[in-house]
Structure formats: structure tokens, C-alpha cells
């Protein structure tokens, strides 16, 4: 099936709110700055920086600061595209695995020159026209692999996630707003196996545990760190403020705004 040009290559004035990276992607920050968090660490990305987001990983994007001009170029490398590229150019992947969702890349003149040259190919909506899409993605991938040959081990690893330590993964990634099915997939399990292993470890269903864990973190951030409820609910995985406030009140007996208005605990 042919990939959509809208999904595969675009220039955008917003950082996006992706929680799950379904395919390898290249991102170049034209202007502004942002923070990216992948469950392990936080990356500061400034104008002119670029890197790779690895497929089957989680990441959050936060523009810094909110009121400054911001523009990024995002280019997706789908699995079908990469398999065809690998067969055409004869690249191979070794067994070595890169860690983490984000791979920052050192600045190089070849990459910078390519990114400068690609901007005229975007239309007024920030989308690359269909007839140029695969040509430009192929050109970029050749440039990236010439400058960073080790990326072949990332781009041409087509394996699904392996079974990993569920307890460690969930305690690190519970704030990501993704489905239970996605959590199961990322830990290398079927949905039924994930639920079974989860309840053995945490003695609760995944949904019960996620809500409680997020609310306990919210209480700590408001009570101890002086955060405003409206500042943290999205970062903790809640889809909207009303849902967050309702769940918080149900668990603690009062809305988060009530806690925010009280003197901070010194305990």
C-alpha cells in the first residue's frame, strides 16, 4: 500500500504531541526549540538540530517556550520504503541494538545542505508533493547513511519488540497516553499475556494501576512541587482536564484545584 505524502513528509509550525513512534523518522528543527522526553531522558533540541526517532518507541514533544516561532521538518521512513531501499542499495544490519527512542545526530554540512535544498519542495500547506516524495526521501537516506553508517543497524532492523521486563517498563513509561494494546506490544506480549503478567506483578488491572500511578504523581507535583493542575495533566497521560479532575476527586476526596490552593506540605 502506498504511503500518504501528508503522513510521510511535512513542514509544521507545531512540535506535535506524538506518544508512539510507529516508524523511523527524521526530524530537523528549522526554528525554535523544544524538549523531547522518551521515558529515559530529556533532550534539548534547538534550531538547526536534527536526529532520528526510532520506531516502536515512545516520545513526548514540548515546545520551549510556547510563544516563540517554531518550525520543524518531519520525514517518515516507513517499513515498505526501507525494505525496498535496502534491496536496491544492498545495505545490511548487524545485531547491535541502539538504546533509546531518540538518536541525536552531529551536525554535518551534507545534511545541512540537503535540508536547505528540500524546503522549496513543500507546498503552501507544508506538504511535499507526491511526485518528489520518494526521490527526496531516498536522497536524504543516502546522505544520512554516508555520514552515519551505523544507522543501517537502526533503519534495517525490521524485528518486532522483544519480550522485556514489564515492571521496569511500566514504571518508566506510565505517563505516556497510549492504549493498553500498545503497552502490550512494546513489552513483546500479546494483550492477554500482558494483562496476565501485569496483574501478577502489580496486583491490579493495567487501567486501574495507570490511573492510580498518574494521580499519585499528580498529587506529589501539586503538593510538593507547587505545580498547577492545568500544567501537568497532559504530561501525566490524561486526555482532558475534566477527566483528570474527576479522577483526582474520586481518589483523594477533593479536586486538584483545592489542593493547589492550600499551603504546601513540608512533609
| pLDDT tens digits, 21-62 | 999 999 999 999 999 999 888 999 999 999 999 999 999 988
Rounded distance, CA 56 to CA 38, Å? 11
DSSP code string of 207-231: HHHHHHHHHHHHHHHHHTT---HHH
Closest among 100, 150, 260, 221 to 213, alpha carbons compared: 221
- Per residue in 125-160, pLDDT tens? 899 988 899 999 999 999 999 999 999 999 999 999
For residue 16, what pLDDT is reported?
63
CATH code: domain 166-260 is 1.10.10.60
Grade residue 5 by pLDDT with cuts at 50, 70 and 90.
Answer: very low
For residue 63, what pLDDT is reported?
78
**Cβ atoms of residues 197 and 167 within 8 Å:** no
Select the CATH number that applies to the domain covering 5-155 from these four: 3.40.50.1000, 3.30.710.10, 2.60.120.280, 3.20.20.10. 2.60.120.280
- Residue 264 clears pLDDT 70, i.e. is over it: no
Rounded distance, CA 29 to CA 12, Å? 10
- Per residue in 193-237, pLDDT tens? 999 999 999 999 999 999 999 999 999 999 999 999 999 999 999
Residue 220, Cα to own-chain centre: how many angstroms?
25
**Cβ atoms of residues 93 and 153 within 8 Å:** yes
Burial class (CB in 10 A: 0-12, 13-18, 19+), 168: exposed
- Residue 98 clears pLDDT 90, i.e. is over it: no
For residue 3, what pLDDT is reported?
47
Rounded distance, CA 155 to CA 26, Å? 11
Q: Strands 33-37 and 50-53, how do they pair? A: unpaired
Cβ-based neighbours of 190, under 8 Å, separated by 6 or more: 184
Grade residue 265 by pLDDT with cuts at 50, 70 and 90.
Answer: low
Closest among 61, 259, 64, 60 to 174, alpha carbons compared: 60
Grade residue 4 by pLDDT with cuts at 50, 70 and 90.
Answer: very low
Q: Cis peptide before 118, with omega less than 30 degrees from 0? A: no
Helix (H) or strand (E) holding 30: strand 24-31
DSSP code string of 70-135: -EEEEEEE-HHHHHHHHHHHT----S----SSEEE----HHHHHHHHHHGGGB-TTSBB-HHHHHH
- Residue 182 clears pLDDT 60, i.e. is over it: yes
List, in sequence order, the alpha helices (H) in 156-255.
166-173, 180-186, 191-202, 206-223, 229-232, 241-252
Q: What residue spans in the chain does CATH classification 1.10.10.60 cover?
A: 166-260
Q: What residue spans in the chain does CATH classification 2.60.120.280 cover?
A: 5-155
**Cβ atoms of residues 101 and 57 within 8 Å:** yes
For residue 267, what pLDDT is reported?
43
Closest among 247, 163, 172, 174 to 206, alpha carbons compared: 174
Phi and psi at 224, nearest 5°, equal -95, -30
- Residue 2 clears pLDDT 50, i.e. is over it: no
Amino acid at each position: 500500500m502506498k504511503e500518504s505524502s501528508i503522513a510521510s513528509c511535512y513542514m509544521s509550525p507545531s512540535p506535535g504531541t506524538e506518544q508512539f513512534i510507529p516508524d523511523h523518522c527524521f526530524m530537523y528543527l528549522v526554528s525554535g526549540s523544544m524538549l523531547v522526553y522518551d521515558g529515559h531522558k530529556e533532550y534539548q533540541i534547538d534550531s538547526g538540530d536534527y536526529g532520528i526517532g526510532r520506531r516502536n518507541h515512545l516520545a513526548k514533544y514540548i515546545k520551549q517556550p510556547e510563544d516563540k516561532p517554531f518550525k520543524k521538518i518531519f520525514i517518515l521512513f516507513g517499513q515498505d520504503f526501507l525494505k525496498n531501499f535496502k534491496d536496491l542499495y544492498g545495505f545490511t544490519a548487524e545485531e547491535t541494538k541502539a538504546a533509546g527512542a531518540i538518536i541525536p545526530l552531529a551536525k554535518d554540512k551534507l545534511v545541512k545542505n540537503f535540508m536547505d535544498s528540500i524546503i522549496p519542495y513543500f507546498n503552501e500547506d507544508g506538504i511535499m508533493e507526491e511526485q518528489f516524495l520518494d526521490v527526496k526521501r531516498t536522497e536524504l537516506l543516502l546522505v544520512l547513511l554516508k555520514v552515519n553508517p551505523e544507522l543501517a543497524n537502526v533503519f534495517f532492523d525490521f524485528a518486532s519488540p522483544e519480550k522485556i521486563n514489564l515492571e521496569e517498563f511500566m514504571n518508566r513509561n506510565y505517563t505516556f497516553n497510549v492504549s493498553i494494546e500498545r503497552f502490550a506490544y512494546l513489552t513483546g506480549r500479546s494483550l492477554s499475556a500482558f494483562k496476565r503478567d501485569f496483574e501478577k506483578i502489580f496486583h491490579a488491572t493495567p487501567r486501574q494501576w495507570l490511573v492510580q500511578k498518574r494521580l499519585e504523581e499528580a498529587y506529589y507535583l501539586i503538593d510538593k512541587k507547587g505545580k498547577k493542575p492545568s500544567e501537568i495533566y497532559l504530561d501525566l497521560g490524561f486526555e482532558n482536564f475534566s477527566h483528570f479532575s474527576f479522577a483526582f476527586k474520586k481518589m483523594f476526596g477533593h479536586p486538584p484545584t483545592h489542593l493547589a490552593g492550600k499551603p504546601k506540605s513540608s512533609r
